[in-house]
């Protein structure tokens, strides 16, 4: 999904006349370099290039700054640096509003809505996404992108039926328009909805199609693949195909461990999924070991990543079952404290 966000934005910027100032060659070169690194999955390098691009801009280069900030937000979002992504998108949005650029304003609105959804600020997410939807009514690709984001928000709320409606609406627009779009990401989302409904055969078909499309676009070892690989791991575990599930998770780990420092929260989620698979397969010691590794990463990322508390709490329960009550209670309190802090701190824009 995040790859789609960036690709649509880049298409617009490159395709719109006067989007880039011709007297800023250093900025243009750094932006091109950042985009190449982004699409290759080298997010730290893309981040460095975008920060360098922002530094060469003059205060008067407002539109160029908004563009770079939006793309920097995409990088931070891929690195699970949600507060940084929120700030970058917020600054980009403020500039486009100042410029009264209706078309460009919809993009950071949609991205901020996506970040709020990831932070489980569902009401804020839907409010921004509905604003963005009003601004994209003459832009089929933009409309499909926002509909997809709304679907993701409802899916995270546990409303699979409503999510399916928005995903299908997005898919119909993409199919009818023929515009460039991340169809792999959309198919992945539809697969997850069918999985939620326990329609596993249809879910597997969508997820396999999604994986093939994404592989064809970005290659066999891009971080974007790990979302669909994890979804397949969950599906295979739910249907008792534990060896196949393990293979998906191990492939995802191999991809992410190429850059552990920037994908640690993703690694934690994959390890947690792997621990569930091992537990259901009766491989108790491997399940405990994977959960312990996931919890170690999750504890380091509790601030700003509320979902990491789930992993810590499950590890706490595991320790309690092992008779380690004192350590278990310490972890439970730590996770609860993180939930309270994350729930009380609200960023203003």
Indicate the pTM of the whole model.
0.78
Per the domain annotation, does 83 fall within a domain? no
Per the domain annotation, does 280 fall within a domain? yes
Residue 344: C-alpha distances to residues 73, 241, 337, 338 (Å)? 23, 41, 11, 10
Per the domain annotation, does 177 fall within a domain? no
Domain that holds residue 269: 225-349
Per the domain annotation, does 276 fall within a domain? yes
pLDDT in tens, 128-167: 999 999 999 888 888 999 999 999 999 999 999 999 999 9
Residue 86: C-alpha distances to residues 161, 262, 265 (Å)? 28, 17, 17
How far apart CA 204 and CA 57 sit, in angstroms, is: 47
Look at 21-35, 219-233, 257-271 and tell me which has the smallest mean pLDDT.
21-35
- Domain total for the chain? 1
pLDDT in tens, 220-240: 999 999 999 999 999 999 999
pLDDT band at 343 (very low <50, low <70, confident <90, very high): low
Per the domain annotation, does 342 fall within a domain? yes
Per the domain annotation, does 49 fall within a domain? no
Per the domain annotation, does 283 fall within a domain? yes
DSSP letter string over 187-212? HHHHHHHHHHTT-HHHHHHHHHHHHH
Percentage of the residues of the chain whose pLDDT score is greater than 70 = 90
pLDDT in tens, 301-312: 888 787 899 999
How far apart CA 58 and CA 21 sit, in angstroms, is: 11
Under a CB-based contact definition with an 8 Å cutoff, are residues 334 and 326 in contact?
Answer: no
pLDDT band at 262 (very low <50, low <70, confident <90, very high): confident
Per the domain annotation, does 84 fall within a domain? no
Stretch 86-102: mean pLDDT, rounded?
Answer: 94
Nearest CA among 118, 59, 111 for reference residue 90: 111
Evaluate if residue 295 carries a pLDDT over 60.
yes
| CATH number of the domain to which 279 belongs | 1.25.40.10
pLDDT band at 11 (very low <50, low <70, confident <90, very high): very low
Q: What is the distance, to the nearest Å, from the Cα of residue 154 to the centroid of all Cα atoms in its chain?
A: 15
């Amino acid at each position: 999904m995040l790859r789609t966000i960036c690709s649509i934005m880049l298409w617009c910027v490159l395709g719109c006349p006067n989007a880039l100032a011709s007297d800023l060659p250093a900025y243009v070169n750094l932006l091109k370099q950042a985009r190449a690194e982004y699409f290759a999955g080298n997010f730290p390098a893309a981040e460095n290039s975008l920060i360098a691009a922002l530094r060469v801009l003059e205060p008067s280069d407002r539109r160029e700054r908004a563009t770079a900030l939006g793309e920097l937000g995409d990088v931070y979002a891929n690195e699970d640096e949600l507060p940084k992504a929120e700030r970058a998108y917020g600054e980009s949005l403020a500039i486009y509003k100042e410029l009264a650029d209706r078309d460009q304003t919809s993009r950071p609105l949609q991205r901020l809505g996506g970040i709020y959804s990831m932070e489980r600020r569902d009401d804020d997410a839907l409010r921004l996404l509905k604003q963005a939807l009003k601004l994209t009514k003459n832009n089929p690709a933009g409309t499909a992108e926002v509909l997809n984001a709304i679907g993701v928000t409802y899916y995270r709320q546990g409303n699979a039926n409503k999510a399916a409606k928005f995903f299908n609406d997005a898919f119909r627009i993409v199919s009818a328009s023929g515009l460039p779009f991340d169809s792999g990401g959309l198919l992945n989302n539809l697969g997850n909805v069918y999985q939620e409904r326990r329609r596993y055969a249809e879910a597997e078909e969508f997820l396999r199609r999604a994986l093939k499309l994404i592989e064809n676009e970005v290659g066999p070892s891009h971080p974007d693949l790990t979302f669909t690989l994890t979804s397949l791991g969950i599906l295979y575990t739910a249907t008792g195909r534990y060896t196949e599930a393990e293979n998906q998770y191990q492939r995802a780990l191999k991809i992410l461990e190429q850059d552990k420092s920037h994908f640690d929260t993703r690694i934690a989620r994959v390890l947690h999924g792997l621990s569930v698979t091992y537990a259901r397969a009766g491989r108790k010691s491997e399940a405990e070991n994977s959960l312990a590794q996931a919890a170690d990463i999750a504890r380091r990322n509790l601030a700003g990543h509320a979902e990491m508390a789930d992993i810590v709490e499950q590890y706490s329960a595991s320790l309690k079952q092992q008779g380690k009550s004192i350590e278990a209670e310490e972890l439970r309190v730590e996770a609860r404290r993180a939930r309270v802090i994350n729930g009380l701190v609200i960023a203003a824009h």
